[in-house]
Chain A
Amino acid sequence: MSKPATAKLSADDRAIFGAIADFLVPKTAKMPAATEVGVAAGGIDDVLKFRPDLIEDFHRGLEKAKGLTGAKAAELLFETDKDAFGAVSLAASGAYYMSPKVRQIIGYPGQESLTYDNHETPDYLTNGMLERVARRGPTYKPTPR
């Protein structure tokens, strides 16, 4: 039996999810593990708030993962319940890449606003790249008469 669709997670739920998340997103020399950046704490709460459609599959995945290691649970879900695996894995990666610490390490400032001079002459006009295209002449077939 899966739990009712709720975004509220127990400590056990977080522990099961954390183990799977750390298998899917492990610690490396450069990157922190998922639980090190709060994926099983505030991170998963945020994901389920933004994506309530994941809740049901997510809970079913945790239910099936009870008593298994993170690795075994991930493999089981991947092989037998793609929807549950999709929800758990997206929750892990979604929360991970929303972490400011992770974004800083991978050099992702988020989708940011940039200013630019729209009248600045682009380099492709000064280095001859676009001129080479123009010189080859029209490529379209004209309307037949």
Chain B
Amino acid sequence: MSEDRNASGRAPKRGEEVDVLIIGAGPSGSVAAKHLSAAGLSVVTLEQGNYPDRDKFPGRRPEWELVSQRQWHPNPNVRDMPRDYPVDTSESDINPLMFAGVGGSATIYAGHWTPFLPSDFRVRSLDGIADDWPFTYEDLLPYLEQIEWEVGVSGMPGNPAYPPKKAYPTPALPIGKVGRKAAEGLDKLGWHWWPGTNAMPSQPHNGLNACVRRGTCMTGCPEGAKSTTDITYWPAAIKNGAKLVTGARVRQIEVDDRGLATGAVYIDQNGREHRQKAKTVIVCANGIGTPRLLLLSASKRFPDGLANSSGMVGKRLMMHPFSAVLGIYDEDLESWRGPFGQTISSYEFYETDEKRGFMRGAKWGAMPGGGPLGATSFVGTKVFAGPTAKVGDMWGNNLHEMVDRRFGRSIVWGIIGEDLPEDSNRVVLDPTMTDTDGIPAPKLLYKVSQNSHDMLKFHVARCLEAVQAAGAIETAVVHQMRDTGWHLLGTCLMGDNPKTSVVNQWGQTHDVPNLYIFDGSTFPTSAGLNPTATIMSVALRQTTRMIAERRNQKAA
């Protein structure tokens, strides 16, 4: 990678035309901003949220659990903050979860670092369903290995669930009593497990502090130890001369008479409209925000939305149906302690086995149970109560007994099943709902498929066997939790054929040669894994190509 830096040595002035405009400062946009600016391109990034203030993360305060159920809830419709946009979920089985800010939704992610496997890029070839990606695991591997060093991943090398690869930059975090107990069950059954890989270094790395296992990862890390790009990418990008504009909500990408993108119109936090001109535009606004913006950018020349001649913009939304299995043990597991990433993971049933009655598979990640309020809820959602509970079931003496039994003694297995793409699962513009700037909100039309339902049912049954093999005295299951749309993928399909896909393998839209999409919306399939590692690696691969081809880039 070239390090010749922005030749001018200064950030672009407001309104000045730049080489590259990036929309969204989450994981993919940040990778692009840092590396493009390091290569000497002038870069402006527009981010609708603000720069996170670590002092405001509630993890060190006694009210942490209380506020995590509202102000820090991952569902923007629950959080209802001014910088969030609402999402109409009235016709969706799953609620999307996201966060607006520099660092994007990773600000509130659990930091599970789980790159896609070789089979995830060849679903059509191996299983005869969905699609192959235009590139392979091996094509992506060098970029993944570079990203892991930039991100500061901690982990134990040698996981047999993956082909051999470069070691992680920092040793694995302690798996704690929770991880040890979870591994015990899998060990007895002879099933795969491995110490968790997490986007949290176990020693200081690239501006990050070492994880101190506070366990409040999903409400922002007050230690500055969970890897988010406000720490790992933006200081370098800004030093390179990249300009970051926060509180900038983009309402339209503009095009010229030749059908080339000329920049974007955005609204600042005071409601004023601005125009940012650019030779090239990259959209990195996630699997809901990106198709929303392309649909909002419809024009006379692009009446069905920008880059949508295939009709695929917004289609194939994948959100990973998710189930949780709670195991309670008759011993102190200190299960409020972190990391609230994965202490261990299991890929035992990850690959397809048609005898199971469904295609593809799921990853399991073992997480701690949280504080005393967490004894009855999962990530702010009161799910373990059951829909037919009576007041006395969860309260009175039963509350004390339940906290006595569960608090500090629980393990939560999160099961992420591969969500297969279907055109009917999609993002459209809502006819009436708007955000605080009056811009139409997205609406989701999404149904959990029979394959996902069968898959989760199978995995929950196996997971219960593992939980019981470790000696659980009580178990609880939540099938297909509603508040679990952390992974927003697939709505701007990547492919070689312009008639059936939105972008090529380099993220370049087929219809508008200087408009790119670098986020997870381009993923042809979703894998059964947390996608941030792959989102960032794909963004780096595409960014590297953009730098190499900069002289050949067609611009407005």
Contact = CB atoms under 8 A, between A and B. Distances in A.
A1 interface: no
A25 B118 contact: no
Given A97-B371, A129-B187, A140-B117, A114 B337 contact: yes
Contacts of A98: 62-63, 66
Contacts of B137: 143
B192 A24 contact: no
Contacts of B371: 97, 108, 110-111
B439 interface: no
A110 B362 CA distance: 33
Interface string A126-143: 000110111011111111
B212 A108 contact: no
A85 B175 CA distance: 38
A53 B73 CA distance: 13
Interface of A: 23-26, 28, 30-31, 46-47, 50-51, 53, 74-75, 78-79, 85, 89-90, 93-94, 97-98, 106-108, 110-116, 118-119, 122-124, 129-130, 132-134, 136-144
Interface stretch (B254-262, B392-400, B464-472, B482-490): B392-400
A85 B390 CA distance: 12
B118 A140 contact: yes
A50 B161 CA distance: 44
Contacts of B309: none
A106 to B, nearest CB: 6
B118 A143 contact: yes
B121 A111 contact: no
B400 A118 contact: no
Contacts of A90: 66, 69
Interface string B181-198: 001000100101111000
Interface stretch (B295-303, B310-318, B343-351, B539-547): B343-351
B351 A28 contact: no
B64 interface: yes
Contacts of B183: 124, 129
Nearest to A91: B66
A113 B372 contact: no
A24 B398 CA distance: 9
Interface stretch (B31-39, B47-55, B166-174, B502-510): B166-174
Contacts of B172: 122
B131 to A, nearest CB: 14
A43 to B, nearest CB: 11
18 contacts: A23-B396, A24-B396, A30-B400, A47-B63, A51-B67, A51-B71, A106-B372, A108-B336, A108-B372, A113-B213, A114-B213, A124-B180, A129-B183, A136-B190, A139-B192, A140-B118, A140-B351, A143-B138
